[in-house]
Amino acid sequence: MRKKTQLQLQMDTGIEQALLSKYETGVRVPPTETLMLLADYYNVSMDYIMKRTDNPKVNE
């Protein structure tokens, strides 16, 4: 996965840095649309984003 700062990720995706911080720390759960956006951004599966698998590959 790409190593990005929250500010870089905010600039690339439009997701506010404060929300990204809350998602990372578990204070808030991102909505499905945000999970989809992040999965597409990082080119990984939704299951990988949600930690349901260790395999980041997107099923094609």
Tokens 């990082």: give the residue. Answer: 42
Q: What are phi and psi of 26, to 5 degrees?
A: 85, 10
Q: How far apart are CA 14 and CA 45, in angstroms?
A: 20
Task: Specify the amino acid at residue 36.
Answer: M
Query: Is the model's pTM score more than 0.75?
Result: yes
Q: Model confidence over 6-33: pLDDT tens digits?
A: 999 999 999 999 999 999 999 999 999 9
The answer to whether the beta carbons of residues 49 and 36 sit under 8 Å apart is no
How much is the pLDDT for 4?
85
